[in-house]
Structure 1
Amino acid sequence: MSLLLGCDFSSTPTRRKPIVLALGHAAGGRVQLTKLEKLESLAAFADWLRQPQAWVGGFDFPFGLPRELVEHLGWPTEWRECMRHYASLSRPQIRATFAAYCDARPAGSKFAHRRFDKLAGSSPSMKWVNPPVAYMLHAAVPLLLEAGVHMPGLHAGDPQRVALEAYPGLLARELIARRSYKSDEKAKQTPDRLIARKDLLTALEQGRTRLGLRLKLTHAQADALVQDASGDSLDAVLCLVQAAWAAQHGAPQYGLPADLDPLEGWIVSA
């Protein structure tokens, strides 16, 4: 039984805000959460990726930049070369480059989007604030490349370690619409958000999604997911369910469309 994982990523992980991995297995339409693992540094994340074990994982960060942006900037349009160039830049350089691009664009269409962003409801991967997904891509994708993992549609690597771009918001909205269920700010960790987390978990356990999978948890696991008001643990579990759906589809596409843009990538199950 192949290991499945969902990853809620932080580009600057700490003990207070770690990278969260939800590990589990799937059989017979059920996804069993085995454990949550918390990594407090990018080095620990890199070490985990390099371990010689078979897995299919859903990772909550962008795997690519919008083609429109890359072509406008004159960057390499081959994915690996583009990511190498991107990794060579500092965060201030990224912010200045992307801000200049946005400043030159008309109001209402400042950011460039990947083809599936509207479909998935995802933030443009060039956003550097709220959420800073551009920095997440900058921190994480080079580590996937260094670890030699396989990224279907983008980069051929070790077929035993399969990394896919996931997005918890896509699955969460399917189950509780646009209700907010998380916040990193203590003042915003309200009873309404607590109830939303409970409702989201109940819906996952009952399999009320188009993915046709039911999440299986112990009472202690369910309590831990509900009590994490940041939502990071729950987001990792949502990515785990998306990874399970991809694993069902299997190689070579893992449920991704055959015509995905090999520069932009695709969010699994979008």
Structure 2
Amino acid sequence: MLFGCDFSSAPTARKPIVVAHGGVDGRCVVLQRLDTFATLAAWTEWLARAPAWVGGFDFPFGLPRELVVQLGWPLQWRALMTHYATLSRAEIRTEFAAFCAGRPAGGKFAHRATDGPAGSSPSMKWVNPPVAFMLHAGVPRLLATGACLPGLHVPHEGCERVALEAYPGLLARELIGRRSYKADDRARQTPQRHAARADLLDALVTSGSARLGLRLALEPAQRDILLADAQGDRIDAVLCLLQAAWAASQPAWGLPVSIDPLEGWIVSA
């Protein structure tokens, strides 16, 4: 099973976790269906029930090494994730805010090596977007399913559940530049963002991604659903699906040989 996942650390019926399922037909990724999960428990149960999968997940799998060293946290990824899971969100916010307070303007946050080429937010951010909390909610649940996280954690040979860190913004920028195509705030769900979603879908279907060498195959009704989602969660899940499909076709999941085993890497960055 191949899928992409747009994740929320606090999903609701109005803003659920979205999973886009697909298959590969030559250089096309065929969207099969979209599933939604209004609770973390329902999403985790589904992941654990599925016997074999490759998924691209839109949340960070690691923290910046610079941050971890300064905080004196474990320098082995599995031990670090175990420690991180014991902290409350309030404790994480306090620790990270204190780290930022001692740094100069313009360099408050520490970054992972992958953030530069991916153009991603630092994984220690706790607001706009709260990716630090997404890591806190997501990674322990992946580990509970026995998933393999290439480059970071391989529980045993032949692991049939493979979790890859994806980032939809990387693919979206390739196709429509830095145009905004989504907004959670209803007042910001403008015609311009609707047009950007339309252009993004058209580019995915007609020419696809030169970076990935893949394009998307959609039914008209599926396109309508993706276009109508002003929050962009369904499109983001589809973008993660394409990144997972690309990684599944690459040696070593397309990850660099020099990946930092504490920080991890965003596929296709």
TM above 0.5, yes or no, is: yes
Q: Determine the structure 2 residue equivalent to 1:225.
A: 226
Instruction: Verify the 8 A CA contact 1:79 1:262 in the aligned structure 2.
Output: yes
Q: Determine the structure 2 residue equivalent to 1:109.
A: 107
- The SS at the match of 1:215 is strand
Deviation at 1:52, TM superposition (A): 3.7
Q: Determine the structure 1 residue equivalent to 2:179.
A: 179
- The SS at the match of 1:159 is coil
Is structure 2 residue 212 aligned with structure 1 residue 211?
yes
Q: Determine the structure 2 residue equivalent to 1:46.
A: 44
Deviation at 1:27, TM superposition (A): 2.1
Q: Determine the structure 2 residue equivalent to 1:152.
A: 150
Q: Determine the structure 2 residue equivalent to 1:125.
A: 123
Of the structure 1 ranges 159-168 and 45-54, higher mean CA displacement relative to structure 2 is found in 45-54
Instruction: Verify the 8 A CA contact 2:30 2:217 in the aligned structure 1.
Output: yes
Q: Residue 154 of structure 1 aligns to which amino acid in structure 2?
A: L
Spell out, residue by residue over 1:44-80, the C-alpha distance to the aligned partner (whole angstroms, 9 max, x if none): 1111111242221100000000000001000001000
Runs of 5+ unmatched residues, structure 1: none
Q: Determine the structure 2 residue equivalent to 1:191.
A: 191
Q: How does 1:1-270 map to 2 (within 5 A)?
A: 3-157=1-155, 159-206=159-206, 207-250=208-251, 253-270=252-269
Deviation at 1:210, TM superposition (A): 1.6
Distance in structure 2 (CA, Å) of the matches to 1:154 and 1:27: 30
Deviation at 1:32, TM superposition (A): 0.4
Spell out, residue by residue over 1:62-121, the C-alpha distance to the aligned partner (whole angstroms, 9 max, x if none): 000000000100000100000000000000100000000000011111000001101111
Deviation at 1:149, TM superposition (A): 0.5
Give the paired residue count.
266
CA RMSD of aligned residues (A): 0.9
Spell out, residue by residue over 1:120-142, the C-alpha distance to the aligned partner (whole angstroms, 9 max, x if none): 11000000000000000000000
Instruction: Verify the 8 A CA contact 1:149 1:161 in the aligned structure 2.
Output: yes
- The SS at the match of 1:149 is coil
Distance in structure 2 (CA, Å) of the matches to 1:210 and 1:136: 27
Query: % of aligned pairs identical?
Result: 65
Distance in structure 1 (CA, Å) of the matches to 2:99 and 2:18: 33
Distance in structure 2 (CA, Å) of the matches to 1:132 and 1:185: 16
Distance in structure 1 (CA, Å) of the matches to 2:5 and 2:209: 22
Instruction: Verify the 8 A CA contact 2:171 2:209 in the aligned structure 1.
Output: no
Q: Residue 112 of structure 2 aligns to which amino acid in structure 1?
A: R
- The SS at the match of 2:111 is coil
Runs of 5+ unmatched residues, structure 2: none
Instruction: Verify the 8 A CA contact 1:175 1:209 in the aligned structure 2.
Output: no
Instruction: Verify the 8 A CA contact 2:61 2:165 in the aligned structure 1.
Output: yes
Instruction: Verify the 8 A CA contact 1:117 1:124 in the aligned structure 2.
Output: yes
- The SS at the match of 1:150 is coil
Distance in structure 2 (CA, Å) of the matches to 1:246 and 1:45: 23
Instruction: Verify the 8 A CA contact 2:65 2:263 in the aligned structure 1.
Output: yes
Distance in structure 2 (CA, Å) of the matches to 1:197 and 1:33: 17
- The SS at the match of 1:34 is strand
Distance in structure 1 (CA, Å) of the matches to 2:183 and 2:263: 29
